[in-house]
Amino acid sequence: MVTTVGTESTFEKLVQNLLILEHDAIAAYDSTVEKLDDTGYKAKIAEFREDHLRHVAELKRLAASLGIEAPTQGDMKQYLTTGKIALAGIIGDKTILKAMSTNEIETKMAYDHASKNAAASSDALAFFRTAFADEDKHKAWMDQTAAS
Which three-class secondary structure state does DSSP give residue 70?
A: coil
Q: What is the pLDDT of residues 72-101, one digit of tens each?
A: 865 455 445 544 554 444 456 788 888 889
Q: What is the pLDDT of residues 41-79, one digit of tens each?
A: 999 999 999 999 999 999 999 999 999 999 886 545 544
At residue 122's C-alpha, the angle toward residues 118 and 123, to 5°, is: 135
The rounded distance, in Å, linking the Cα atoms of 112 and 128 is 7
Q: Which domains does the chain have, with CATH numbers?
A: 11-147 (1.20.1260.10)
pLDDT at 3 over 90: no
The rounded distance, in Å, linking the Cα atoms of 39 and 51 is 19
21-34 CB burial, b ≥16 within 10 A, e <16: bbbbbbbbbebbbe
* pTM score, whole prediction: 0.86
27 touches 82 (CB < 8 A)? yes
The rounded distance, in Å, linking the Cα atoms of 117 and 112 is 9
